[in-house]
Chain A
Amino acid sequence: MSKSSPLTSRGDYYFKWLSAVCAFITPLLMAGIFFELLSNSMPSIKKFGVGFLFSQNWNPVTEQFGAASSIFGTIVSTLIAMVIAVPLSIAIAIFLVELARPKLSKTVGTMIELLAAIPSIIYGMWGMFVFGPFMAKYVQPLLQGTLGFLPFFQGPPMGLGMLTAGIILAFMILPFICAITRDVFQLVPNVVKESAHGMGATTWEVTYKVTIPYGLVGIIGALFLGLGRALGETMAVTFVIGNAHRISPSLFAPGNSIASTLANEFTEATELIYLSSLIELGLVLFVITYLVQMLAQYMLRKMYKSWSVGL
């Protein structure tokens, strides 16, 4: 009677134990992060309660803090990024999988992946010194000229602000969404695509009616992954969002995000309540990101039927 055990020696017992401990470090870290964020936010939670989430106050002098403008900025910049990145990503995925020849696809694919490798601060530098002025000089006046009746495009075209931040974020998350979408497209069995082609469908129709529905869960997972990235992006956003604790309907106006607030003010926070409010902001971001990641993992796992998900 021997029930299998892959251990063949004493050394194995320790080896398995040690590796299990190391594997457990990651969940431990996650729990630890949550715990530390929560416990260090307590002073702020106690003082401001739930109203913290909705208050636009941000005054280190009077020690009144509220997360509303940061949350607003995080959501709006992310939204802009998604609106731009999603159609682009799917289109590029179509290009890589359906249109380009293998060698070209590989080259272009690598270039898109390099976009992901560029560090956030480089995007920030480029955003502040190159793209921002470009926006201020050409794009924003154009938008204002044509669509200036909309509240979104009013106000002085400074170049730095919500719109610029959103656009830069879009290019930062594009490679992530694109890579997974491309994988999903490639996962669709060729026979399925070929039989659709055989019925006279065009490439687009095959994609639209067969590939995308087949891989919809995976694609949505990819979107959530990109969303999660955009929510937490720090340095790029900090450089170009303008850093003002205000909520404004105009996309040209400066604002801030949770991440940019943390980046800018953390080292300035000398009073306990200031620091605690900042950490509470971090807690909010942590929770939002965690939920988004969880959804993304759930969807992607369904698609891949395993945990092997790309970065």
Chain B
Amino acid sequence: MKPRPPTGRRLMDLMVSVWSVISALLGIGALIWILSGVIIRGVGALNLDFFTRLPTPPGLGGGGLANALLGTLAMTVVATLLSVPIGLLAGIYLAEFGQESWIADQSRFSANVLMGMPSIIVGVFAYTLVVLPLGHFSGYAGVVALAILMIPVVTRTTEDMLRLVPNTLRESALALGAPRWKVTLAVVFRAAKAGLLTGILLSVARVSGETAPLLFTALNSPYWFSSLSGPTPNLTVTIFNYAVSPYEDWQRIAWAASLLITVSVLAFTLAARFVLRTKQ
């Protein structure tokens, strides 16, 4: 076999290295381009009115998204309260009891698949499950959709974090005569605290920026947020509605909302990683 000239191989290596660096730059560049675009267009419209006023018809100006803020907050909180206990308990089962059982295998597989499921499909499901029987859109349907999105994330990170806790810790607690459930909740949980919190923060981050699952569940509303039993105002669907509208002042508000959401989601994500890093 004819030996390749060393310079050819080195050249190839160099080209690949250059391409790698370029790719990394492209990735970073895209991030900067997007973030700067959002900041530039959003920061101007992010004023006190935005946080305190109701939406106004296009052209009038002076409107805000106070109701949407509350709505998003409310739905995110309720979805979290619904999904976190289920996710934690499911993760506990997978890590502590179900190493090899059939339920455990099915559960893990489904959790992984569900995490890759388009969120709009989850929205359709929530529609058929809640909106159709009730006969109207509601924040509850939105909450159900969001919770479904959060459960597998919390489950998987809980399982992963609990598995990292060494068995010697469990043995030490069991040897003192503690029942298994206490060992899990009082000792193992405490040891995995940081990781569990990270999982929860990450799932909240993911879901607070979601639009598709709310499009036909919570819908949207221009009125004050009062309850989840009807169409519920929220930031993300508002962005969608305002952005595709032909009105400039509405588009500006959409950018403000976009900035707010981007900053929150990124803050949550970074906070989650920070929690994990400092505790280790």
Q: Are A32 and B265 within 8 A (Cβ)? A: no
Residue B243 is within 8 A (CB to CB) of chain A in the complex = yes
Q: Are B89 and A22 within 8 A (Cβ)? A: yes
Q: For the complex, would chain B's binding face be called helix, strand, loop or mixed by DSSP majority?
A: helix
Separation of A98 and B244 alpha carbons in the complex (Å) = 44
Q: Which residues of A contact B209 (CB under 8 A)?
A: 118-122
Q: Are A91 and B34 within 8 A (Cβ)? A: no
Q: Are A26 and B155 within 8 A (Cβ)? A: yes
Bitwise interface map of A from 107 to 119 toward B, beta carbon under 8 Å scored 1, else 0:
0101111110111
Q: Which of these, A87, A94, A175, A286, contacts B121 with CB under 8 Å?
A: A286
Known: A110-B273, A119-B261, A119-B262. A8 touches B180 (CB 8 A): yes
Q: Which of these, B31, B97, B266, contacts A19 with CB under 8 Å?
A: B97
Q: Smallest distance from the beta carbon of B206 to chain A beta carbons, Å?
A: 8
Q: Smallest distance from the beta carbon of A291 to chain B beta carbons, Å?
A: 10
Bitwise interface map of B from 133 to 174 toward A, beta carbon under 8 Å scored 1, else 0:
000000000000000100111011001100100000000001
Residue A124 is within 8 A (CB to CB) of chain B in the complex = yes
Q: Are A20 and B93 within 8 A (Cβ)? A: yes
Residue A266 is within 8 A (CB to CB) of chain B in the complex = yes
Q: Which residues of A contact B240 (CB under 8 A)?
A: 121, 124, 235, 238, 263
Q: For the complex, would chain A's binding face be called helix, strand, loop or mixed by DSSP majority?
A: helix
Residue of B nearest to A231 (CB): B118
Q: Are B108 and A20 within 8 A (Cβ)? A: no
Residue of B nearest to A239 (CB): B243
Q: Which residues of B contact A231 (CB under 8 A)?
A: 118
Residue of B nearest to A24 (CB): B103
Q: Are B37 and A130 within 8 A (Cβ)? A: yes
Q: Are A311 and B153 within 8 A (Cβ)? A: yes
Q: Which residues of A contact B239 (CB under 8 A)?
A: 121, 125
Q: Which residues of A contact B251 (CB under 8 A)?
A: 129
Q: Smallest distance from the beta carbon of B134 to chain A beta carbons, Å?
A: 15
Q: Which residues of B contact A117 (CB under 8 A)?
A: 205-206, 265-266, 269
Residue A171 is within 8 A (CB to CB) of chain B in the complex = yes
Q: Which residues of B contact A111 (CB under 8 A)?
A: 27-28, 31
Bitwise interface map of A from 1 to 27 toward B, beta carbon under 8 Å scored 1, else 0:
000001111011001101111111111
Q: Which residues of B contact A30 (CB under 8 A)?
A: 110, 113-114
Q: Which size class do A's interface residues fall under?
A: 35 or more
Interchain pairs with CB closer than 8 A, number: 282
Q: Are A9 and B254 within 8 A (Cβ)? A: no
Q: Are B37 and A32 within 8 A (Cβ)? A: no
Q: Which of these, A94, A279, A286, A293, contacts B112 with CB under 8 Å?
A: A293
- With A23-B93, A126-B37, A229-B116 known, 16 other A-B pairs at CB within 8 A are A6-B96, A91-B19, A110-B273, A111-B28, A111-B31, A113-B269, A120-B210, A125-B255, A202-B10, A205-B13, A234-B212, A262-B120, A279-B124, A286-B117, A307-B108, A308-B159
Query: Measuring CB to CB, which residues of chain B are less than 8 angstroms from any residue of chain A?
Result: 9-10, 12-13, 16-17, 19-24, 26-28, 30-31, 33-34, 37-38, 41, 85-87, 89-90, 92-94, 96-98, 103-104, 106-122, 124-125, 127-129, 148, 151-153, 155-156, 159-160, 163, 174, 179-182, 184, 205-206, 209-212, 215-216, 219, 236, 239-240, 243-244, 251, 254-255, 258, 261-262, 265-266, 269, 273
- Could you write out 11 A-B pairs with CB less than 8 Å apart? A20-B97, A23-B94, A23-B103, A91-B24, A111-B28, A113-B269, A120-B210, A122-B209, A203-B16, A290-B117, A308-B163
Query: Measuring CB to CB, which residues of chain A are less than 8 angstroms from any residue of chain B?
Result: 6-9, 11-12, 15-16, 18-27, 29-30, 32-33, 36-37, 40, 87-88, 91-92, 94-96, 98-100, 108, 110-115, 117-126, 128-130, 171, 174-175, 178, 202-205, 207, 225, 228-229, 231-235, 238-239, 259, 262-263, 266-267, 279, 282, 285-286, 289-290, 292-294, 296-297, 307-309, 311
